[in-house]
Amino acid sequence: MNIFGFRISPSSAINLDNVDKERFRELCRIEPDAVRCMACGSCSATCPAAGFSGMSVRKVLLYLQRGKEEEAFKLMSNCMLCGKCTMVCPRGINTRHLILSICRIYDKEEKK
Amino acid sequence: MREIYLSGYNNFVLPFMIGMIFVLSWCVIGAARIILQLTGEDRKKFFLSLINPKIMAKNVRDWFCDCLFHVKLWKRNMLLGYMHSSIAFGWFMLIVIGHIEVFLYTPQRVHQIWYPIFFRYFVAVTDSTMKGSFFFFLMDFFLLVILSGIILAIIKRARSRFFGMRRTTNPSITDLIGLYSLWCIFPLRLLAEGFTADISGGSFLTKSLNMVLHSFLSDQMNMLPTWWAYSIALGVFMCILPFSRYMHIPAEILLIPMRNAGIKVTHARKGYAKLQVYSCPSCGVCIDACPMSTVKANTKDTTVYLNRQIKRYNERRIEEISDKCLLCGKCTAVCPVGVQGDMMRIAQRSVRKYKLAPSYANIDENALLERCNKFVNTSNNTVTSDRNQRVMYFAGCMTSLTPSISKSTAAILQKAGIRFEIMDKDGGICCGRPMFMAGRIAQAKEMIEKNTAIIKASGADTLLLSCPICYKIFKEQYQLEGIEVIHHTEFFDRLIESGKITLNGSDTRYVYHDPCELGRGCGIYEQPRNVVRKAGELVEAEKHGKESICCGGSLGSLTLGFDKRKALTENALANLTIASPDTIVTACPLCRSTFNRYSDIPVKDIAEIVDEATRKKKR
Amino acid sequence: MKEIVVIIGGGIAGLEAASQLLKLGYSPIIVEKSDRLGGHVARWNRLFPDMTPAQDLVSELIASSKDANIFLNTEISFINRLKDSYNIMLSNGISIISKYILYTTGFRLFEAQKKEEYGYGIYNQVITNADLEHWFNTNKDDRISGKDIKSIGFVHCVGSRDEKARNSQCSKVCCITAIKQAIELKEKYPEAEIYCFYMDLRLFGKKFEDFYTKAQRDHGIHFIRGRVSEVSENINGQVIVKAEDTLAGKPLKVTLDLLVLMSGMVCNPDSTKSASMLSLPIDSDGFLKSSDNVFHITSSPRKGIYYAGACTGPKTVPETLAEARSAVLEIHSTITGEAR
């Protein structure tokens, strides 16, 4: 029933109460450096895939922590694992292995 | 020769026979399995190579050089080479001469396989066999050779440094059983033949022993137990052989023809990979070679331990070891049997299960092509001006972080008057090598397809690369018919040769660092050195060429964190600066920035020094 | 006999300490490696937040410490410990025995060419904060003078907060320096667009926030939260800077006529060297390690050895001067305590 001519879309707001934190915790066990990101954006600026899928390790990490996993996966879909982000990261985060670990732990299908 | 025993049999041959039958059937079944596990194509290649006289001749040569004479070890260290070849070749000769003796003197016993081994027990000399003393002498001589090898082996266990090895492998329990039984075999044989030297004949060694230890050896009560002990040592050695590092002896015999047939590691565990694992002699040459071993905690992550863990199916450790590796390929380069540590690791990585997989289908290669299609007339899609060289310069991802390289390269091309276009000045698709190294082969192939389409449509006839990481995959995995793939070191060498650029040399002392992917990866050692010699004085690092040490910045390692790499870089720098050069020259953007971080002296890419040397002339 | 205090380093901390020691009646000896006094500050043009000319401060300090023994062009050859004093051998052959050594060895500016992706030394449009101050002072720099400058970028945190550059510490003063220099450049090029690329703006000091507001409101300087990752050159002789605008969440590209790199303060290898002769502890950031970082910043774990200024970490000018005074007071109370 749509009497107003528009529908109320699902809220895009972040509700931390509803975020499943377990999988990010699992990720952190393998990649303790994941939480050291200071969001400087170097990785996104240098990323060759940023121009194609908007890839940004910074955003991926943020989205995963805020329960926006689908959006994170979309960004990652063009990652070429070239290692430029690892090279420029001022915190020395091993972003390549981080991305591989995300690909191993997270799953598109089993959505929460 | 006269036979002493009519039956030609004694119970003491049993341990030997059990061992022999066991190891033979194990090896036959194993070889059959490995051949069956090959892909159909590889199997065909393998069988065809066996009837190819050229490859067969190479096989025979390799069997002798690698399995018996250990030529590669001789080159590494004389003592190490002597130790291995004395045991291998000596033993081989004992078996061969033993058989010749049987053929000559007791041809009726040829079908009894224990007969040549225990020949002296069963026969006695007669006056008519004086000519046999020639064989007796040979037998004693080779036994002495082996014994000297065994003594060296015992010394090596305690002091491996004498053999040019800083570190050796930590032997497993089965290795130790094999080792001790091997050490026992030959002294026991000497003792056993010492008993019979006065009746069955002997030479300077066995005869003399018989005389010196007369009181013990003349007592016939002691004889049979000694022969039993000899046989048991042989039996134990052969029974433990499939479970110890000595499996490399039979495995290498199969590895050599497979390698010469051009078979590559495709499956992580089966077929050729399995054969490589069993061919590993656990010698530990790769431990000293590995650049990670400079940190003691990493020594257990070398190829020899990877092979051991694969044998044990220890999945956790296999993953750890294969993900840590820098893929510098040095273990492959130094391995005396040709185990490909880097390929093995990529294969292990390739079987990993990922739930998310990137895909590049959405990337529009036409849009990328539009940025760099200077050579194509867009109105009718024809290549413009066919006569001149049309160079497409693919700087690569890493080069965009070291702009000095791309700037210098472009400047040199301009000076040489070459028509060129930069393919990825506004970003592009990665070459695929880093993805390939991570074992995600399907994704790498997708990138390769995209780039191939762009390069082919661009109308270029030369693809110039300044990054060895890109260069390796472009050389090996891309099919770019009609387009020459060339690294900038080769290209500069050619420009200098053809006189298109002239370098004005200086008295700067340059040391050239061979990047892993360019040197060991693609075999380019000479061209960059030619170029450097034109620009200044070339000095060499302590370890260079095939043995050059990885800078530590390699993309090959997945798990080695930034802080863990410092020690590796410092070690590589210490190696490079041994001849106190003024400047370190390399030909890889990744090496350049890694060294630059910790080096006290300037680090430059070969393009920079060429650019500087051409600029000087103008003045 | 007047007590001798050896001061290693003739920067503002050393000069201020010497002048205070003179006032208290001691005999300070300044050992300076270079041929002039005043250190980094002497090369600066104006100081935030009051835009005081740096030269005024340095001249005043030199004037008030002129009675000290000053060795220019002199380095420490070695120091060894005697029973209750130190024997300091200088490179000019003089040796001094003193109970008190004050380290005012300061810092080094990060070598910007080490961050090769920013193109310092490669592109003609890229300069550092020190180059810019030099240009303010002398008006001589081919990279700036005589060019039509329409757009300028400032990169904060060059070689600081950067583990890849081997300096994980914040250099503290670069944010405010960038704002100061941006304002100064804007005054010279009123038409130019100025962009500051920052990771975090750390404007902690007195009047710093006012400076920030002034830069935004009065000078229209743009602040972009994102660290520059790549710099390339176009055919017009301009540099193209790539960063992520992390607040917009989008990659950003801008073409600039001038790019200023805010090289951070990093430890001085000379102080590390002489500290190792006395086995003084070095902190994880490479700077000298104080007894503790709250109560005893100016004292070392060794008796008779004191620190002041940027040898223990990045400091502002007023902090450095205050530390010099407090170190002198500490030396004074030790001497008088011993005499009693």
- In order, the DSSP letters of B353-370 are --S-----TT--HHHHHH
Which residues on B lie below 8 Å from C165 (Cβ)? 597
Nearest residue in A to C248, CA atom: A41
In tens, the pLDDT along B43-76 reads 999 999 999 999 999 999 999 998 899 998 898 8
Is A13 domain-assigned? no
Is A65 domain-assigned? yes
Kindly state whether residues C102 and C143 are assigned to the same domain. no
Is A14 domain-assigned? no
Which residues on B lie below 8 Å from C117 (Cβ)? 400-403
Which residues on C lie below 8 Å from A43 (Cβ)? 229, 244
Is A1 domain-assigned? no
The confidence score (pLDDT) of residue C208 equals 93
**CA angle, corner C216, sides to C214 and C217, nearest 5?**
65
Identify the chains in contact with B, defined as 3+ C-beta pairs within 8 A. Answer: A, C
Q: Do A90 and C157 touch (CB under 8 A)?
A: yes
Which residues on C lie below 8 Å from A38 (Cβ)? 161, 199-200
Model confidence at B617: pLDDT above 60 = no
| Chain A residues in contact with chain B using a Cβ-Cβ cutoff of 8 Å | 33, 46, 48, 51-53, 73, 76-84, 86-88, 92, 94, 96-97, 100, 102-109
Q: Which domain holds residue C147?
A: 112-264
Cβ C331 vs Cβ C102: under 8 Å: yes
Among partner residues B562, B563, B596, which is closest to C116 by beta-carbon distance? Answer: B596
The nearest CA of chain C is from the CA of A82 a distance in Å of 15
Optimal mutation site among C201, C246, C247, interface A, most CBs of chain A within 10 A: C246
**CA angle, corner B203, sides to B200 and B204, nearest 5?**
145
Percent of chain B clearing pLDDT 90 (strictly above): 66
Average per-residue pLDDT in chain B?
89
Q: Do A58 and C246 touch (CB under 8 A)?
A: yes
In tens, the pLDDT along A35-61 reads 999 999 999 999 999 988 899 999 999
Kindly state whether residues C134 and C249 are assigned to the same domain. yes
In tens, the pLDDT along C215-241 reads 999 999 999 999 999 999 988 889 999
Cβ B448 vs Cβ B477: under 8 Å: yes
Distances (CA, A) of B131 to B100, B144, B211: 13, 21, 22
In tens, the pLDDT along B254-311 reads 999 999 999 999 889 999 999 999 999 998 899 999 999 999 989 999 999 999 999 9
- Tokens 């502890």 correspond to what residue? C281
Q: Do A90 and C227 touch (CB under 8 A)?
A: yes
| Chain C residues in contact with chain A using a Cβ-Cβ cutoff of 8 Å | 117, 157, 161-165, 199-200, 225-230, 242-246, 249, 251-252
Among partner residues A40, A56, A59, which is closest to C227 by beta-carbon distance? Answer: A40
The confidence score (pLDDT) of residue B378 equals 66
The whole-angstrom separation of Cα B31 and Cα B89 is 23
Q: What are the structure tokens assigned to B292, written together? A: 């990670």
Kindly state whether residues C281 and C316 are assigned to the same domain. yes
* Beta bridge partners of residue C71, listed in sequence order: C31
Model confidence at B618: pLDDT above 50 = no
The whole-angstrom separation of Cα B43 and Cα C14 is 79
Domain count, chain A: 1
Is A10 domain-assigned? no
Q: What are the structure tokens assigned to B236, written together? A: 């134990």
Cβ C256 vs Cβ C194: under 8 Å: no
Last residue in a domain, options C244, C264, C284 = C264
Among partner residues B400, B563, B593, which is closest to C230 by beta-carbon distance? Answer: B400
Q: Do C164 and B563 touch (CB under 8 A)?
A: no
Optimal mutation site among B374, B400, B586, B600, interface C, most CBs of chain C within 10 A: B400
Name residues whose C-beta falls within 8 Å of residue B267's C-beta, 6 or more positions apart in sequence.
B37, B273, B347
* Partner C, chain A 55-94, Cβ-Cβ below 8 Å: 56, 58-59, 87-92
Burial (CB count <10 Å: 0-12, 13-18, 19+), residue B249: middle
The confidence score (pLDDT) of residue C281 equals 93
The nearest CA of chain A is from the CA of B53 a distance in Å of 44
Secondary structure element (H or E) that encloses residue B58, with its range: helix B53-62
Among partner residues C122, C163, C166, which is closest to B403 by beta-carbon distance? Answer: C122
In tens, the pLDDT along B107-118 reads 888 888 888 888
The whole-angstrom separation of Cα B36 and Cα B195 is 48
The confidence score (pLDDT) of residue B384 equals 67
- SS3 call for B206: helix
- In order, the DSSP letters of C269-336 are HHHHHHHHHTT--B-TTSSBPPS-SSS-TTB-SSTTEEE-GGGGS---HHHHHHHHHHHHHHHHHHHH
Identify the chains in contact with C, defined as 3+ C-beta pairs within 8 A. Answer: A, B
Q: What are the structure tokens assigned to B40, written together? A: 């159909």
CA atoms within a 13 Å half-sphere pointing along the CA-CB vector of B168: 17
The confidence score (pLDDT) of residue B373 equals 76
Kindly state whether residues C281 and C158 are assigned to the same domain. no
Which residues on A lie below 8 Å from B558 (Cβ)? 94, 96-97, 100
Asked if B401 has any chain C CB less than 8 Å from its own CB, the reply is yes
Q: Do B562 and C165 touch (CB under 8 A)?
A: no
Is A102 domain-assigned? yes
Q: Do A44 and C225 touch (CB under 8 A)?
A: no
Q: Do A80 and B358 touch (CB under 8 A)?
A: yes
Kindly state whether residues C138 and C213 are assigned to the same domain. yes
Percent of chain C clearing pLDDT 70 (strictly above): 99
* Beta bridge partners of residue B509, listed in sequence order: B537
Is A12 domain-assigned? no
* B–C interface: beta-carbon pairs under 8 A: 34
The confidence score (pLDDT) of residue B76 equals 87
Residues B381-387: what's their mean pLDDT? 66
Give phi and psi for C116, each to the nearest 5. Answer: -65, -25
Kindly state whether residues C119 and C260 are assigned to the same domain. yes
Identify the chains in contact with A, defined as 3+ C-beta pairs within 8 A. Answer: B, C
The confidence score (pLDDT) of residue B98 equals 87
Q: Is the peptide bond before B107 cis (omega within 30 degrees of 0)?
A: no
Question: How many other C-beta atoms are found inside a 10 Å radius of the C-beta of residue B213?
Answer: 14
Q: Do B323 and A97 touch (CB under 8 A)?
A: yes
Residues B375-384: what's their mean pLDDT? 70
Nearest CA to C164 among A84, B586, B604? Answer: A84
* A–B interface: beta-carbon pairs under 8 A: 95
Residues C265-291: what's their mean pLDDT? 92
The confidence score (pLDDT) of residue A110 equals 57
User: What is the pairing mode between strands C230-233 and C239-245?
Assistant: antiparallel
Which residues on A lie below 8 Å from C118 (Cβ)? none
**CA angle, corner C179, sides to C176 and C182, nearest 5?**
150
In C11-84, which ranges are E strands? 27-31, 46-47, 52-53, 69-71, 76-81
Is A66 domain-assigned? yes
Asked if B434 has any chain A CB less than 8 Å from its own CB, the reply is yes
Name residues whose C-beta falls within 8 Å of residue B90's C-beta, 6 or more positions apart in sequence.
B142, B143, B145, B146, B149
Optimal mutation site among C118, C174, C227, interface A, most CBs of chain A within 10 A: C227
Asked if A12 has any chain C CB less than 8 Å from its own CB, the reply is no
The confidence score (pLDDT) of residue B371 equals 82
Model confidence at B26: pLDDT above 50 = yes
The confidence score (pLDDT) of residue B470 equals 95
Nearest CA to B589 among B443, B447, B468, B444? Answer: B468
* Beta bridge partners of residue C46, listed in sequence order: C53
Model confidence at A9: pLDDT above 50 = yes
Kindly state whether residues C28 and C153 are assigned to the same domain. no
The confidence score (pLDDT) of residue B8 equals 77
In chain C, which ranges are E strands? 4-8, 27-31, 46-47, 52-53, 69-71, 76-81, 86-90, 95-98, 100-103, 107-109, 126-128, 151-158, 193-198, 222-225, 230-233, 239-245, 250-256, 258-263, 265-267, 305-307
Crossing angle of helices B248-260 and B40-50, in 10° steps, is: 90
Q: Would you place residue B252 in the very low, low, confident or very high pLDDT band (cuts 50, 70, 90)? A: very high
In tens, the pLDDT along B317-354 reads 999 999 999 999 999 999 999 899 999 999 999 999 99
What ipTM, to 2 d.p.?
Answer: 0.90
CA atoms within a 13 Å half-sphere pointing along the CA-CB vector of B372: 29
Among partner residues A39, A45, A59, which is closest to C243 by beta-carbon distance? Answer: A45
Among partner residues C114, C122, C164, which is closest to B407 by beta-carbon distance? Answer: C122
Q: For position C245, which CATH number holds?
A: 3.50.50.60
Asked if B270 has any chain C CB less than 8 Å from its own CB, the reply is no
Amino acid occupying residue B489: T
Q: Which domain holds residue A41?
A: 20-107
Q: What are the structure tokens assigned to B519, written together? A: 């040197």
- DSSP class of residue B600 equals S
**CA angle, corner C143, sides to C142 and C149, nearest 5?**
115
Among partner residues A51, A88, A91, which is closest to C229 by beta-carbon distance? Answer: A88
Kindly state whether residues C96 and C135 are assigned to the same domain. no
Domain count, chain C: 2
Q: Do C251 and A50 touch (CB under 8 A)?
A: yes
The confidence score (pLDDT) of residue B162 equals 86
Kindly state whether residues C260 and C135 are assigned to the same domain. yes
Name residues whose C-beta falls within 8 Å of residue B232's C-beta, 6 or more positions apart in sequence.
B15
Q: Do B403 and C233 touch (CB under 8 A)?
A: yes
In tens, the pLDDT along B450-483 reads 999 999 888 888 999 999 999 999 999 999 988 9
Kindly state whether residues C259 and C116 are assigned to the same domain. yes
Last residue in a domain, options C229, C249, C264 = C264
The nearest CA of chain A is from the CA of B564 a distance in Å of 11
Which residues on A lie below 8 Å from B352 (Cβ)? 104
Q: Would you place residue B130 in the very low, low, confident or very high pLDDT band (cuts 50, 70, 90)? A: low
Cβ C240 vs Cβ C234: under 8 Å: yes
Q: Would you place residue C311 in the very low, low, confident or very high pLDDT band (cuts 50, 70, 90)? A: very high
Last residue in a domain, options C264, C291, C314 = C264
Kindly state whether residues C76 and C123 are assigned to the same domain. no
The confidence score (pLDDT) of residue A112 equals 45
Model confidence at B556: pLDDT above 90 = yes
